Amino acid sequence: MNTIIQKIKNEQRVNFDEALKLYDLDLFTLGMLANEIREKKWGKKSYFNINRHINPTNVCKDICKFCAFSASRKNPNQYTMTHDEILNIVKESDSRGAKEVHIVSAHNPETGLSWYLDIFSKIKNQFPHMHVKALTAAEINFLATEYNHSYEEIIDMMIESGVDSMPGGGAEIFDEAVRDKICKGKVSSAEWFEIHKLWHQRGRHSNATMLFGHIEEQKHRIDHMIRLRDLQDETNGFNTFIPLVYQRDNNFLNVKDFLSSQEILKTMAISRIVLDNIPHLKAYWVTSTINLALISQEFGADDLDGTIERESINSAAGAKSAHGMRLEEFVSIIKNSGFNPIERDSLYNEIKAW
């Protein structure tokens, strides 16, 4: 273990076996290693943005066992927003200083392709300064399959319609056996990588996620990280990595043993160590809780996402994120945790030090 620790201190890349052994380290040693990397990159800066999450429909043709958002499962209350409803939300968020709209939906086969794409053009026409982050690789796969288009064609339509960057959703866990159990029929791991690679080849950036704490094992998390690291070596298109903690309510996985805070923090720290080529590590407070996200700043995380305003997907599964967080409170708790809150845009250009 001392050899691996020294390797990390020398800023040498760890391999799969070495990364997996890091879980055997005590929490504080692991946190120290990750924090050293974080401070070399970003000092005491903790990034956030003023953003609004919009989830325009919960009608979905896919059946993922971990999902509590889809109206085709336990939720009988189906909804699909009109474009006017979405634009009114953007208008309200813009008036409160939001600089990004993060638009992620279910895979609704009843709306038509234009319902998905035209709203981006409308947002850009009315709010040209607003960054549009939209359509996960899972949604792109759905649209390409449902409407008989190639991934390249859907991606080009997105760009033409005003999409600026892609979120990292749909990654879940890349191991195919696990994926077959939790989201059979959804975008495959190979397809997820193909879509992000195509997006990066167009000079665009995206994020990457990992859903953990359900039926996967530690080895599957390391495999997930290594695969992302390999694509980043090739394209350099990922802005940030976001480990998402599995939410336990209202779904069909029936997980009995949930992760400890220690295991979550270890995974955060190992992510910072393994993903040496992805600039940012996000502690997404929506899934980890705000308190654990703040602690994660000392375990490698340099980003806490943002104010969000409203969130439907994870809150449907038990997360306390339905109404976001006020800007003043967000800034205050970052300061009180000993870090410097830095407002950023969606591509990590610094806007304001609070």
pLDDT at 248 over 90: no
For residue 316, give the nearest of 53, 94, 131 by alpha carbon.
53
pLDDT at res. 185: 82
Going by their DSSP bridges, the two strands 340-344 and 51-54 should be labelled as unpaired
pLDDT at res. 321: 40
Model pLDDT for residues 260-304, shown as the tens digit of each residue:
999 999 999 999 999 999 999 999 888 878 889 999 999 999 999
pLDDT at res. 259: 86
pLDDT at 231 over 90: yes
How far is residue 287's CA from residue 302's CA, in Å, rounded to a whole number? 16
* Mean residue pLDDT across the chain: 89
What is the C-alpha end-to-end distance of the chain, expressed in Å?
40
Number of domains in the chain: 1
Answer whether 0.85 is exceeded by the pTM: yes
For residue 54, give the nearest of 140, 142, 127, 119 by alpha carbon.
119
Stretch 187-213: mean pLDDT, rounded? 97
pLDDT band, very low/low/confident/very high, at 325 (cuts 50, 70, 90): confident
Q: At what angle do helices 137-146 and 113-126 cross, to 10 degrees?
A: 130
Model pLDDT for residues 80-112, shown as the tens digit of each residue:
999 999 999 999 999 988 999 999 987 888 899
For residue 262, give the nearest of 229, 224, 284, 295 by alpha carbon.
295
Model pLDDT for residues 122-136, shown as the tens digit of each residue:
999 999 999 999 999
**DSSP state, residue 155:** H
pLDDT at res. 307: 76
Model pLDDT for residues 135-177, shown as the tens digit of each residue:
999 999 999 999 999 999 999 999 999 999 999 999 999 999 9
pLDDT at res. 201: 98
CATH number at residue 50: 3.20.20.70
> Range of 218's domain?
2-353
pLDDT at 210 over 80: yes
- Specify whether the CB–CB gap between 138 and 186 falls below 8 A: yes
pLDDT band, very low/low/confident/very high, at 308 (cuts 50, 70, 90): low
Q: How far is CA 151 from the centre of its chain?
A: 21
pLDDT band, very low/low/confident/very high, at 251 (cuts 50, 70, 90): low
